[in-house]
Amino acid sequence: MTKEKIQIALVTGSSRGIGKAVAQALANNKYLVYINYMSDRQAADKTLDEIRTNGGQARLLQFDVTDTASCENAVKEIITENKKIDVLVNNAGIRNDRLLAMMKKDAWQQIIDTNLNSFFNMTKPVVKQMLKNRYGRIINMASTAGQIGNAGQVNYCASKAGLIGATKALAREIANRNITVNAVSPGFIETQMTENIDIDEIVKSIPAGRLGKPEEVAAAIVFLCSNDASYINGQVIGVNGGII
C-alpha cells in the first residue's frame, strides 16, 4: 500500500482501556494509528508492540490533551509526516467523583479540562486540515453518564454532556465537507476506570447482565470510520448493554 492510500488515525488516551482497543481495531483495519498517552510509557509501549506483532502500523505520541500547544504540535507532527489526518478519536478521559456539595473547584476544573476542553484543543487543528482535505471522521467518547446523569459525578456528567453538544454542533458546521462528527456513548466497560466500582450492584442495572468490553466499543468506532457510515452524522451511538 502506498503512503498516500494509508488512512491516518489519532486516538487520544490509547495506552490502555477503551482507547487501546480502538487503536488495535483501527490498526487491524489497515489504519496507521498514532497512539497518544500522557504518563504511562510502559503501557503505551505494550500497545505499540502488540499492534506491530499483529502486523499493524502504529506510532507513539506523548502529550497531555489539556495542553493546547502540545495538542497543536502533535497534530502538526502528524500532518508533516502524512499530509493528512483521516480519523480523530477524542477518547482520553478521567473521572474524579464527589458529591457536588463536597467538590473542590480543582476537581471540577480537572475533569472539564481533560474531558471537554481537550475536544477543543485536538479538534480545532484537526478540523482545519480535514476541511482542506474534504474528508474526515471525528468520534468523541461520551458516556451514558452524560445522557442520564449520575449522582457523585456532576463534573464528569457535565463534561460528557458538553461533548455531546459539541458533537452535534460541529457536525452541522462541517457535514457538507464530507466530514462526520459522532459520539460513542459507552455504559459500564471493563477498564481501569471501572476497577473500583461495586460491580455486583452495577450489573443489576444493566439489562445485558454484564459489563461491556473495550472491544465492543471499538467495533462501533470502526464502523463509524467506515464508508458505510458516511451518512451518519451528529449522532450519539450508545454501547451500553441496554441501560438507556
Q: What is d(CA 52, CA 44) in angstroms, rounded to the nearest whole number?
A: 12
Strand partners, 238: 185
147: left (phi over 0), alpha (psi -120 to 50) or beta: alpha
To ligand NDP, the closest distance from the beta carbon of 212 in angstroms equals 7
Residue 113-152 contact track with ligand NDP, rule CB under 6 A, x = bound: -x--------------------------x-x---------
- The footprint of ligand NDP on residues 167-226 (CB under 6 A) is 186, 188-189, 191-194
107: left (phi over 0), alpha (psi -120 to 50) or beta: alpha
Q: Catalytic annotation on 31?
A: no
241 binds ligand NDP (CB under 6 A): no
Q: What is d(CA 234, CA 17) in angstroms, rounded to the nearest whole number?
A: 25
CB 171 within 8 A of CB 221: no
Q: Which of 8, 9, 11, 18 binds ligand NDP (CB under 6 A)?
A: 18
17 binds ligand NDP (CB under 6 A): yes
Interacting residues with ligand NDP (CB under 6 A): 12-19, 36-40, 64-66, 91-94, 114, 141, 143, 186, 188-189, 191-194
